Amino acid sequence: MTDEISPKDRFITVYGRNPVHEVLLDDDLRVDKVVIAEGARGSGLREIQQAARRRRVDVQYASAERVKKLAGNGRQDQGVFADVVAPRMRPLEAALAADGAAGLRTVLVLDGVTTPANVGMILRSATAAGVDGVVVPRRGVASIDPLVVKASAGVAFRAPILKAFTAAEAVAALKAVGFHVVGLDAGGDDDLFSAHLPEPVAFVLGSETAGLSPDVAELVDTWVSIPMAAGVESLNVSAAAAVVCFELVRRSRL
């Protein structure tokens, strides 16, 4: 394993003039740099430059094409982005090498959760509940962008995010160090509130429509369901994640 950590695993990139200005105004956030497209004009840029000077944040200039590429959203970047340090975000591989199962006892793994609002709300619930890590794969899951940050009410910046390439690779790595892998399914073997869930435990959460991808599903050790009444078949994935997170809190207090 290399000691070099990609910037994508250290920073959350925020694009758009209002979002960039907002993070610069928040003194609790550490902004690594601001990048502005050469020749960019219009409202908001002067305020961004002034706020960056006040915070002594490095302001760089690049071609509009490079800004679009680095921001990752050419339609909404508005010619500016900022890299915000996420102090608790790191590669899953690094977390397991440093802490192993001793440091990570409860983990969520997202699989096919492509709606930014759902990712943001899951990060908020998991952080509030004290979950040790949320695996947000680079492939198959919404990237952490201003939409995710907004849905998390800003919590995404301090969430315990673990980065991996795919959900299947993440689950395999967790199983290799002794994690018990739990999947949610309406036809699960037991209900969430009574199932035996030995730690360290990893809950895998899939999309409402497709569920877990086949290569992740075959790695699941235990399937559990959330009891439903009145003929309701399932919860939104972010609501289900909140139920899981605070069931873990309840169990930790027994």
- Round to whole Å and give the CA distance between 110 and 244: 13
| pLDDT 10s digits, 31-89 | 999 999 999 998 899 999 999 999 999 999 999 999 999 988 767 899 999 999 999 99
Asked whether 109 and 203 are in contact (CB, 8 A), the reply is: yes
As its CATH architecture, domain 90-252 has 3-Layer(aba) Sandwich (3.40)
What is the average pLDDT across 212-228?
96
- DSSP for 172-203? HHHHHTTPEEEEE-TT-SEETTTS--PSSEEE
pLDDT at 3 over 60: no
Name the residue ranges covered by the structural domains of the chain. Answer: 7-85, 90-252
CA distances from 85 to 53, 78, 88, 164 (A): 18, 21, 9, 18
Residue range 7-85, CATH number: 3.30.1330.30
